[in-house]
Amino acid sequence: MLNCDNICANYGDDICKACLEAAEKEKNEDTMKDLFEYKGYYQDFLDSINVDLKNHFELADKISLNISEDMLVHYFNKQAESYKKKHYQPRPFHPASDMLQAVCLQEMGYCEQNTKERSIGLAEIDNVGLKRLIGNDNFKKLGLDPATCAVRMLEYTPGTGIPLHTDSFGLFKNKYGDDNRLVTRYFIAVSSWDWGHMLQVHDNVITHWSVGDAYEIPEGIFHLSSNFGIANKYTLTVTGFVDE
């Protein structure tokens, strides 16, 4: 970069102006480069809504359900034609905050290869079938009415998971209404804990679960789950109105 003082001393204001314009252009190019290389957008988002890992979230007590891994996995595999295969990405029907999270995660490197999942439950026939396999007694333990619950079963193969996010329960509210009742979601282990399986709910890291262990993930609480082990991870998510 030319020294502006030396140019001005010998050539006058016109050259000085050109020098300043060149310096401003270089500054703008550096700014654009920083914008594309910056990886802190998700943390900035968390800071903007006052989400801080240093603030402990008190996880509700684990609830132990009586479910059959064999029956659920058999049903899952039997429903091969109705599998929903997807990965974590921005979707036009998501609310703005969910879209922002997904965009930030994509910029950090999350993609189809490391966030893909297979799931059933969006089709009503599978929602009903899964409820039947869970059983009314287990819904009572959760404090949820099965008639207004959305159930999904998910499979994560080794090397995949769902990154840090929060749920707005948009599909559930579209189906069952949004009448200001409190909505919550449970993570339920279908397969036993194995190498590399984990669930994190805010600052609570959960491992070593048994089949049927259920953990509540309330609306608006950030969480993630991963499988970086050697066996498939099967889970249920049950979303419903809290029985108050």
Domain ranges of the chain: 4-37, 63-241
Contact (CB, 8 A) for 85 and 118? yes
- Rounded alpha-carbon distances, angstroms, from residue 161 to 86, 107, 194, 226: 12, 17, 14, 4
What pLDDT score was predicted for residue 11? 44
Mean pLDDT of 234-241: 96
pLDDT > 90? residue 195: yes
Which class is 63-241 in CATH?
mainly beta
Q: What is the pLDDT of residues 57-70, one digit of tens each?
A: 999 999 999 999 99
CA dihedral 232, 233, 239, 244 (to 10 degrees): 160
What pLDDT score was predicted for residue 177? 83
pLDDT > 70? residue 146: yes
Q: What is the pLDDT of residues 6-44, one digit of tens each?
A: 545 454 455 455 555 655 655 555 555 577 788 889 999
CA dihedral 22, 26, 27, 29 (to 10 degrees): 140
Q: What does pLDDT average to over the chain?
A: 87
DSSP of 92-150, one letter per residue? Answer: TTS-HHHHHHHHHHHHHT--HHHH-EEEE-SSHHHHHHHHHHH-HHHHHHHT--GGGEE
pLDDT > 90? residue 95: no
